[in-house]
């Protein structure tokens, strides 16, 4: 052990074995970080460069935006028998949807920075489809109970919208940032990918608004339109699982050659 004199005081530094252990710990942490990066690259190997995969991701992003706005417009029709269709009700619905989407964007972005996985992405659609089922089966029960307990329609509609729509819309909000991570090939092209995905998603929202307000609510019952949204979400999840399997099979075949 080395001894150092400073200001007439004898200082005994840490033992050599401690310094070596610290050095090993730093190297181990660096190696672990490198391994994590390699795992993330392997998880998306070939996916971001597949033209088919890119088209499918854009298609499910479009469908996700379509479904979000369809459910939002249906929310006003579903809640109208108990709370009316005043500006308070629509203000409650829009507030819940904006809050849900903002938290979904945050959560989806953070998940995408870990180990991005197409199966995780597909699970967003499955989870949101399942979370939409209470809107079909329990909306009447929830609204009737809140209507009795909460006298003010402003807070009654806000509470109802939160209970029925917060979770499914939050999960659907995770789709857009995660889509960007799946398709980005390089840091330089990330802005273009993000712009394209949000363009496609917003176009889906616009068409979902027009389609639901102009046609669906006139042609079908509210529950039928909701079942259509659930099936659309399930189809998106199935499409992502299929394209993931397709890309993995193509990678294995190219590797065998």
Q: Which tens digits make up the pLDDT trace of 124-169?
A: 999 999 999 999 999 999 999 999 998 888 899 999 999 999 999 9
Buried b (16+ CB within 10 A) or exposed e, 111-123: bbeeebbbebbbb
Rg over CA atoms, the chain: 25
Q: How far apart are CA 136 and CA 121, in angstroms?
A: 24
Q: How far apart are CA 208 and CA 65, in angstroms?
A: 7
Sorted by where each begins, the domain ranges of the chain are 54-256
Contact 35, 121 (CB under 8 A): no
CATH number of 54-256: 1.20.1250.20
Residue 1 has pLDDT above 70, yes or no: no
Model confidence band, residue 2 (pLDDT cutoffs 50, 70, 90): very low
pLDDT at 21: 47
Count CB neighbours of 21 within 10 A: 12
Model confidence band, residue 6 (pLDDT cutoffs 50, 70, 90): very low
Q: Which tens digits make up the pLDDT trace of 45-66?
A: 555 556 787 888 999 999 999 9
């Amino acid at each position: 052990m080395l001894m150092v004199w400073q200001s007439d005081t004898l200082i005994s530094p840490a033992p050599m074995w401690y310094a070596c252990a610290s050095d090993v710990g730093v190297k181990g942490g660096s190696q672990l970080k490198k391994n994590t990066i390699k795992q993330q690259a392997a998880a998306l190997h070939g996916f971001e460069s597949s033209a088919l995969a890119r088209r499918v991701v854009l298609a499910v992003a479009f469908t996700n935006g379509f479904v979000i706005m369809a459910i939002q417009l249906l929310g006003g029709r579903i809640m109208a028998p108990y709370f009316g269709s005043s500006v308070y009700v629509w203000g409650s619905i829009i507030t819940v949807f904006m809050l849900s989407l903002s938290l979904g964007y945050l959560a989806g972005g953070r998940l995408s920075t870990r180990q991005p996985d197409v199966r995780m992405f597909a699970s967003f659609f499955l989870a949101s489809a399942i979370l939409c089922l209470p809107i079909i089966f329990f909306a009447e029960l929830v609204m009737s109970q809140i209507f009795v307990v909460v006298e003010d329609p402003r807070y009654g509609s806000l509470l109802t919208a939160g209970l029925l729509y917060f979770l499914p819309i939050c999960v659907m909000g995770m789709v857009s940032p995660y889509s960007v991570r799946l398709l980005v090939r390089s840091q330089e092209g990330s802005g273009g990918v993000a712009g394209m995905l949000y363009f496609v998603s917003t176009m889906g929202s616009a068409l979902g608004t027009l389609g639901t307000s102009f046609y669906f609510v006139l042609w079908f019952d509210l529950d039928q339109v909701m079942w259509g949204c659930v099936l659309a979400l399930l189809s998106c999840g199935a499409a992502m699982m299929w394209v993931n399997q397709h890309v993995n099979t193509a990678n294995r075949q190219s590797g065998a050659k």
